[in-house]
Amino acid sequence: MNGKQRMALQSKQWLVDALVTLMQRGETVTDISITEIVQTADLSRKTFYRAFKTKNDLIDYLCRQLTDDYFESLKKATRGQTPISFETTMQHFFTFWWQQKDLVRLLIRQGLFDQLNGVWQRDAVDKYRQFPAPWHAAGTDREVNYIMAFALGGFTNVLRLWLAQDQPESPEQVQKVALAGFGQLARSIGHSN
């Protein structure tokens, strides 16, 4: 990466940081202007538009950073573990997002959690294939996308419900509840009443 590319990445990060700062100050994302973002970042509008077409693109970039960070940390945490266990993946999921809880809670309050989920879903199949696990289903990209939509929807809805609370449980507590529920679901498959 050359100096110009590094500076472009740094500018993107300053713009993300400025948006987060403005939201943390209590401004709603819909009311935050590009001008406010660039002034807070101490950058020009021209720099903003070189990096992003719209404020929504900036938000997508922030969401992609979060999901990429999650997957990178999962790779690191499970390096050398073949196959990766479901319990390890869940433990890492809840621990990672607990560490990011302030930002996730901010996204929830700003009505941006669905955007995070959408960014995550768009990248899900590629990420899914990077983690061989016995509980991963094989199939075409379309089949895996359906499976990921189901699984990711469950995980992210638990994440939203959990971190939207004033006093969320510890990661260990919510993992225990989720594992019990998933276990019950798995045992019920193929059994009709």
**Residue 155, both tokens:** 């995980």
The answer on pLDDT for 1 being more than 80 is: no
Q: Which residue has the higher pLDDT, 54 or 121?
A: 54
Please give the Cα distance from 20 to 24 (Å, whole number).
Answer: 6
- For residue 107, count CB atoms less than 10 angstroms from its CB and return exposed for 0-12, middle for 13-18, buried for 19 or more: buried
Helices 171-188 and 141-163: crossing angle in degrees, nearest 10, is: 140
Please give the Cα distance from 45 to 37 (Å, whole number).
Answer: 9
Instruction: Look up the CATH superfamily of 1-52.
Output: Homeodomain-like (1.10.10.60)
**Residue 10, both tokens:** 């740094």
Of 150, 130, 152, 141, the C-alpha closest to 72 is 130
pLDDT at position 136 is: 72
pLDDT digit string, tens, across residues 25-70:
999 999 999 999 999 999 999 999 999 999 999 999 999 999 999 9
Q: Which residue has the higher pLDDT, 46 or 127?
A: 46
Assign 193 a pLDDT band (cuts: 50, 70, 90): low
**Other beta carbons less than 10 A from residue 88's beta carbon:** 15
pLDDT at position 44 is: 96
Task: Provide mean pLDDT across the span 150-176.
Answer: 93
Please give the Cα distance from 45 to 173 (Å, whole number).
Answer: 45
Q: Give the global pTM.
A: 0.89
Please give the Cα distance from 50 to 164 (Å, whole number).
Answer: 35
Please give the radius of gyration of the chain, using alpha carbons only, rounded to the nearest integer.
19
pLDDT at position 192 is: 61
Q: How far is CA 113 from CA 60, 70, 131, in A?
A: 11, 15, 24
Q: Where are any strands of DSSP class E within the chain?
A: none
Highest mean pLDDT among 83-87, 120-124, 170-174: 170-174
**Other beta carbons less than 10 A from residue 188's beta carbon:** 10
